[in-house]
Copies of this chain bind each other. A is one copy, B any other.
Amino acid sequence: MIDVGILGATGLVGQRFIELLKKHPWFKISKLAASERSVSKKYWEIGKWKLIGELPREIADEVVVSPDPAEMDDIPLVFSALPSDVAGPIEAKFAQAGKIVVSNAASHRMDPFVPILNPEANSDHIQLVDKQRKKYGWKGAILTNPNCTTAVLTLSLKPLLDEFGLRNVIVTSMQAVSGAGYPGVPSMDIIDNIIPYIKDEERKVEVETKKILGHVERVADFSVSASCNRVPTIDGHMESVFIETKKKCPPEKALEAFSTFTAEPQRLKLPSAPEKPVIVRLEEDRPQPRLDRLEGNGMAVVVGRVRGDPVFKSKGLKYMALGHNTIRGAAGCAVLIAELLREKGYIE
């Protein structure tokens, strides 16, 4: 078992890390770190457990430490759910101290030496670790998972990119409130309502998608345009996607590309890899967040309503994609990255 630390362990994504790691076959939660006001308190004293099911007793009694590598001496692997405004320097310190940091924070995502990994879409970008170490002189490394909306989008796009090539991607998201953390979205703002704005989200989707689906050295050559909305659902980001492809893309071929798609995490049988990374629903009214968000233990993306498009015509397609935003779109993706790193020998 590999001992792991969690930075930012008290927020909603931190709680998902605890939930996903508490019975993990390879990783063992060894230290929980959080901001100054939580340090030296027991975990249960700090805040409320917001997930369904009980917080494990042994985690509840764990004393929270500060997010400092000195507190995590023998721990080779650290998951970061730190807020993006503080994550940058803290994560760098951990990398310098020889730790592998897998981060959900946006701080380092656009650094050309830091990969944004969505393992089924771009596991080859893992090679950036070597360049990163050379560049920054770190013994450890920083790897990031994508923004939640981007994670769902890129996983659904990958089979299409491989098969048909991509020229343009237009996406409107309908995002669950858990994406804003806790306390996050005030109920006064979202009951019987939609908020057509999520700070920085559209830019993240537009640039991260091109980095993830590009070559390790240069971003993809297609364009991405996003319109991001908050809607009154608890978990699960829905995306209405329109694409223009390079080759002709009849819906039935797209369906085949989606449903036959597998990638390295499946071949390596990583513990968190869903059997099918992209699940196709043929019913006319699926996917739906409440019914489908937990497919593949929250690690699969469910696509549906795959159909032709009057704008991009024979080289166009529209479809819906759904993924669990705090699992595939955050903590679950980070855990999958760590599993890949371990299997590739980056963590011992």
Interface residues of A (CB under 8 A from B): 12, 50, 52-53, 168-170, 172, 174, 177-178, 182-197, 206, 223-225, 227, 229, 231-234, 238, 240, 242, 284-291, 294, 304-305, 309-312, 316, 318, 320
Contacts and interface: CB of A to CB of B under 8 A. Distances in A.
Given A229-B174, A310-B224, A188 B196 contact: no
The 6 A-B pairs with the shortest beta carbon distances in the complex, nearest first, are A183-B186, A172-B172, A197-B285, A172-B240, A193-B290, A227-B240
Given A290-B52, A310-B223, A174 B194 contact: yes
Contacts of A193: 233, 288-291
Contacts of A312: 225
Most chain B beta-carbon neighbours within 10 Å: one of A185, A188, A240, A310: A188
B172 A225 contact: no
A294 B53 CA distance: 8
- Integer count of this chain's copies in the complex: 4
Contacts of A316: 225
Given A190-B191, A191-B233, 5 more contacts: A170-B170, A172-B172, A185-B188, A191-B234, A224-B311
Contacts of A52: 290-291, 294
Contacts of A192: 191-192, 232-234, 289-290
B174 A182 contact: no
Given A52-B290, A188-B178, A196 B232 contact: no
Nearest to A241: B227
A12 B186 CA distance: 13
B229 A170 contact: no
B196 A225 contact: no
A305 to B, nearest CB: 6
